[in-house]
Amino acid sequence: MRKLRYVLASAALAGAAVLTAQQMTVGSVAQTAAAADPVLNSPYLYLGDSAPTDIPGLMTASGIKSFTLAFVISGATCAPIVDGAGGTLDGLAKVVGTIRAAGGDATVSIGGAAGKKLGDTCADATALAGAYQKVIDTTKVTAIDIDAEGTEYKTAAIRDKITKALKIVKDKNPGLKTVITLPTAASGPIEGGSDYIQKAKANGSNIDLITVMPFDFYDGQTSNIAAATRTAVDGLKNQVKAAFGLTDAEAYKRVGFSGMNGSDDEGKITDLNGWNQILAYAKEKHVGRVSFWSVNRDHKCTGQDPTGNSCSGTEQTDWAFTKALAGFQG
């Protein structure tokens, strides 16, 4: 699922990542984090294929202040490595430092669809929390996103392990923001997604934001992605409201979504008009997080695969989706 997002993982880890320490002006990761919210309006930036090499320039051109850096995955054992950024947490920390030096901040995303997952390779919740803690300690981020796909989405025991691990890291890092990102139906979370909400409640995970990915539905009927985003997020809100005993307004602040700019794997298009409709809905409901996959794709295609990682497959100027997202303030 969502092959578009992660198909080049192996190449990136083999050294194909374009964001390396030698290519960037690096700020200190030990500096005080900027005032930018790392979670609220934070598009995914994949550190492998087609990653922008001038992040400060991108920030200036688009007005965006935060990114969700993808992805931390697992080595052969319960050890976090990076899909891109030279494959190391130190390389990832340098990217975070670059963003902070330019006045922004970052969330680190753990998981995705490709490669080994920490949820698979770590034996139990304590070991998994230790791997998450290593990411936090090395990068000095104040927010992590668990992008739960594959076995991390499908397997009940791993869902239990992840939600228990998130409780451990929240207890150890009181200021940490945690996000979990889930596949969804057009009606809202189903199956593993719904179970994540219930397990987060049962295990006291204290997850700050539960978000969905409203694209690649493969249901044979969804064609209007803007409308499907609304129904998916409303469905998520209803489940979060019921699980945690919240009001509608409180529940919307605890949920969000990550869209797809341009063409998804099915060829369903979110153009700029649709994206602006989606953002208007997010502003109306005051959702807690909006993101999209990905900044790398925020360009018009000029002969490239429109379902690839380098362009969107819709008419646009450079960074048009990112510029629109920069205007979302909750």
**Does residue 250 carry a catalytic annotation?**
no
Q: Residue 26 has what pLDDT?
A: 36
All residues at 6 or more sequence positions from 165 whose CB lies less than 8 Å from its CB, including other chains: 122, 125, 126, 128, 129, 132
Question: Cα(210)–Cα(87) distance, rounded to whole angstroms?
Answer: 27
Give me the residue label for tokens 């807690």: 288
Buried b (16+ CB within 10 A) or exposed e, 117-138: bbbbbbeebebbbbbbbbbbeb
Positive or negative: CA dihedral 330, 292, 145, 71: negative
Entry pTM: 0.90
Q: Which of 138, 185, 179, 174 is nearest to 162 (CA)?
A: 179
Give the tens place of pLDDT for each residue, 235-261.
999 999 999 999 999 999 999 999 999
Question: Cα(4)–Cα(226) distance, rounded to whole angstroms?
Answer: 20
The distance from CA 100 to its chain's CA centroid, rounded to whole angstroms, is 18
Residue 200, token pair as written in the block:
């987060």
Q: Residue 33 has what pLDDT?
A: 42
Other beta carbons within 10 Å of 280: 12
Q: Which CATH superfamily is domain 3-326 in?
A: Glycosidases (3.20.20.80)
Give the tens place of pLDDT for each residue, 190-232.
999 999 999 999 999 999 999 999 998 888 888 899 999 999 9
Q: Which of 184, 190, 115 is nearest to 150 (CA)?
A: 115
* Ranges assigned E (strand) in 94-231: 105-111, 143-147, 177-183, 209-213
Q: Residue 234 has what pLDDT?
A: 99
Residues paired with residue 70 on neighbouring β-strands, in sequence order = 46, 109
Q: Which of 224, 257, 223 is nearest to 240 (CA)?
A: 257
Residue type, 97: G
Question: Cα(225)–Cα(227) distance, rounded to whole angstroms?
Answer: 5
Burial of 57 (0-12, 13-18, 19+ CB in 10 A): exposed
Question: Cα(232)–Cα(240) distance, rounded to whole angstroms?
Answer: 12
Q: Residue 217 has what pLDDT?
A: 87
Catalytic residue among 149, 152, 191, 284: 149
Question: Cα(81)–Cα(113) distance, rounded to whole angstroms?
Answer: 15
Residue ranges of domains in the chain: 3-326
Give the tens place of pLDDT for each residue, 257-289.
999 999 998 889 999 999 999 999 999 999 999
Q: Residue 312 has what pLDDT?
A: 97
Give the tens place of pLDDT for each residue, 20-69.
333 333 333 333 444 799 999 999 999 988 899 999 999 999 999 999 99
First and final CA of the chain: distance in angstroms? 29
Which helix (H) or strand (E) segment holds residue 291: the answer is strand 289-293
